[in-house]
Each structure stands twice: as structure tokens, then as C-alpha cells.
Structure 1
Amino acid sequence: MNRIRRFLFLCALAATIGLPNVGQSQVGQSQLANPDMASEKELLALPHMTAALAKSIMEQRPFLNMADLHALLSKTLSKEQLAELYGKMFVQINLNTAAPSEILLIPGVGNRMLREFQEYRPYKTIAQFRKEIGKYVDQKEVARLEQYVFVPVNLNSASDADILSIPGTGKRMLREFKEYRPYTNIAQFRKEIGKYVDKKEVARLERYVTLN
């Protein structure tokens, strides 16, 4: 019996080694389509998405804030259509800097929840967001809201899991992020990461990082 227990313990341990601790990541775990990364096919599968809109999104991305995407889409879609679309696709917003108008674009968020989002600034972690917003809504709703937000990761102290939670960041980019530590300013980040990706991608990645 002891041998069986030991075997099961070692199997469980092996299964966890090397896996990122997503519970501690700084970017909300999202099932929403990312307009900066989605393929044309993925965009066209979204509600109220037309070929013309999909083309415009792909031509104008990356969207460095949700307001820019909303400005594009609101030219042709109604308020009701936008709400349905934003239930499937969104540009994640920075919990600490997003304007009230951006927060209110999250489906189901009204003035009351807007106040709660802002009350607990500055957020240091996504875990803090879960705790504070969990005072007002249940865990299922917290998980839904989390998909729309992120807390920037610290370039010099972020864990592997934090960095890997940034959309589009894999093991190769993880190595590049860590190789140039310590970063002394954002200009250094742009220069070093710009060796591997173009300026648009550097700008997209920069949204998710901080030195504070």
C-alpha cells in the first residue's frame, strides 16, 4: 500500500513540475477572442462581424486600448450588437489606467461596478482583483469579468507564469524578456525586444509590462 501511495504521489508531482501557476498570473485568463491576434477566420465567426470589419481590424491592429477598437466598430454596429460582440471579443484593459468609458464597455458593467473597479486602485495582482470584486459578485461572475482585464507585469521581477500569461508570449519570448534584466527604462525594453519582433508587436507587448 505504501508503495502505491508513493507511486501516486510521484506521478502527481511530475505532472505539476514545469507548469506555470496560472492562478498567480497577472493577465486575466480569457476565453475571449483577441482582436490583435485572431485570424480572419476566427474574426468572421464572431457575432455581427462582416468581411469589411474583419479586414479593417486586421489592417489597423494592434489596438493599444479598447477605446480605439470601439471607435472603429461603433461606426457600423449598434449598441446592442456591440454588447453581444464584446461578449466574445475584447481588448483587455489595464485595471489601473483604463478610463471609465473603457470599463463601461465590459458587458454587464454599470456605474456601480465601475466604482468598485476604481475603488481598489492601484491593483498589484489579479488575485487582488478577484478578492475585492468578489465582495460584490459570485466567483463565476468574477471569472467572467477577469477575462476583460489585466495588471501589468513587472519586467524585472515577474515570474515565468506572469510573463507567459501575456497573450502571444511563449517560451522563446519568455527567454528574451528575462535575458535583458535588469531593465532600467521602457526604452531599453523596446530596443531589446525589437530585435525579435516588429514595432507593432513591441507596442502590443508593452501594454502588459511595467517597471513600477
Structure 2
Amino acid sequence: MTDKIINIIKSGTITIPKLLLQSYKELKLTEQELILIIYFIGNNEFDPERISKDLDLSIGETLKIIDDLTKKDILKISTKSAKVYEEYIDLDELYNKLALTIMTDKETPKKTNIYDKFENEFGRTLSPMEYEIIGAWIESGFSEELIEEALKEAVYNGVSNLRYIDKILYEWQKKGIKNKQDIKVQKEAPKPKGEVFDYDWLNEKD
């Protein structure tokens, strides 16, 4: 999936709205649907054969995804006629939904979410795969507070990748650490003489 997105971006100048990457799960979109939307942002011509070829899908798969997106009120197939009758993909419904997301966010107290914190620390936009991984941590029961502390630990050690943070989280889980206070208690606790920490942090920096 990620390779297809990269190929789409490399094929031309396509700006992917950050809000789309943050909100596609909330909009109940699958990764395949997200890929197709990204494609249509750069090229809204309705040409199933070309779309299928560009995305390495069968025409049947392409039409099924488009039909699903239409049923979700994300896009519609519209027509325009100059000298030649043409069909194109209209994404206005998607943009309306994204605008509504912004308005809803403004109506709630401003609070930086965990994804924003990762992007601020990494200095870049997260990939869809990274959104999936962070979401999986939350679904597995890790609190956002604990995830943020693991992020801080990684940044402190000069590492900016999720595999490293994942190992921090599961190391803490083994020790029963569930929140910031637990981390503080664990750090302040006297270490048994001769205790050696069993995780090689340095090798993860590569």
C-alpha cells in the first residue's frame, strides 16, 4: 500500500492534505480508498482503465472502490461538456466533510493530539503506516500519556523511529509501568547491585 502511495506522489505534483491523512479513519475509509482519493486529488479524470493500470488494480476492483466511495458520500462522478462530453471525479463532498472536521475541532477546546506531538518531535508529517502503528498502541491499551513519555524518551536518546518507541512501550509494559508517575517511581527506585538493563538502546539508532 505504502509503495503505491509513493509511486502516485512521485508521478506528479500532488499535495496530500494533512487533514485527510489524520481523518481518513474517522471517515471510515480503507487504505485502498485512501490511495484512490490521493490519486484523484492529482488527476480527477474518470478513466477506469487508466486508473487500474496506474494503481495496479483490476478494472473490477477500481469500479468497486469508486462505488463504495460514492455510497459513503465521499465522491461522485460528474459530467462536463465543452466540445466533448467528459466524466470526472468530483471530490467536493470529501472536502465538505474535511471542512466539517475542522469546524468541529474549533468548537472543542484546543488540545494537541498525540499524532501532532509525534509530527512536532519528528519535524515531519507522519505516514499512513505510522498513523496505523500509533493507533494500534492506543487500541492495545497504552495511554496517550505513556506513548508521549516513550516519545520523549526516544527523542532524548536521539532516535526518531516508531520501532524504537514500540520497544520502549513493551519494556515498560513488562515492568508494569502504566503512566508518567510509574515512570518517575521506577527511575527513583534504588537499583539492585549488579543489575544490568536488558535492552540495547544503542543498536536501535541505526
TM-score when normalising by structure 1: 0.27
Larger Cα-atom Rg: 2
Instruction: Please state which structure has a larger fraction of its residues in helix.
Output: 2
* Larger relative contact order, structure 1 or 2 (CA cutoff 8 Å, min sep 6): 1
TM-score when normalising by structure 2: 0.27
